[in-house]
Amino acid sequence: MPCLRDPDGLSVVLRWNRHPSSVGLARLELRKALAGWGMSRLEDSAVLILSELLTNAARHARVSPGREIETRYLAGPRGLRIEVHDASCEQPQPKTPGPDACEGRGLVIVEALADQWGVHERERGGVGKVVWATLSV
């Protein structure tokens, strides 16, 4: 898992394969980053948001085998931004799951916990999309 930290220490960029174990490892790295930034009070919501976004990318992004998913954790003066980059252009769509449904609540959870969230195309010639969410301190 390559890890890139910026010189000022306010962002962490990691790459993951599509294996389900990547989600737990990504949560651990986010917890470490939050502790280092003094943002541990955001941990519960941030970890759940990351779990949902990364799980969606691993399960639903239709990409070539071997393509990695990238996570970015960005600390700012007002809070945290979590980004999940993948090579699929397929946009995530929030669903309204029935009361007995076992799936389909991920983006509903993200919407409930995040101050804002969204999706856009990757910049700088990258293929695919970025799904992001912000949390205020």
The one-letter amino acid code at 128 reads G
30-to-51, 85, 105 alpha-carbon distances in Å: 10, 15, 22
Using CA atoms, how far apart are residues 69 and 64, in angstroms rounded to an integer? 12
- Tell me the residue range of the domain where 77 lies: 3-136
Using CA atoms, how far apart are residues 117 and 134, in angstroms rounded to an integer? 6
pLDDT tier at 25, thresholds 50, 70, 90: very high
pLDDT in tens, 27-47: 999 999 999 999 999 999 999
Q: What is the CATH number of the domain that holds 93?
A: 3.30.565.10
Helical pair 43-60 and 21-36, crossing angle rounded to 10 deg: 150
pLDDT in tens, 57-112: 888 776 666 678 999 999 999 999 999 999 888 888 777 777 776 676 889 999 99
Phi, psi of 32 (to 5 degrees): -60, -45
Using CA atoms, how far apart are residues 53 and 137, in angstroms rounded to an integer? 20
Q: What's the number of domains the chain is made of?
A: 1
E-only strand ranges, the chain: 3-5, 11-16, 69-76, 79-86, 116-121, 129-136
The one-letter amino acid code at 12 reads V
pTM comes to 0.88
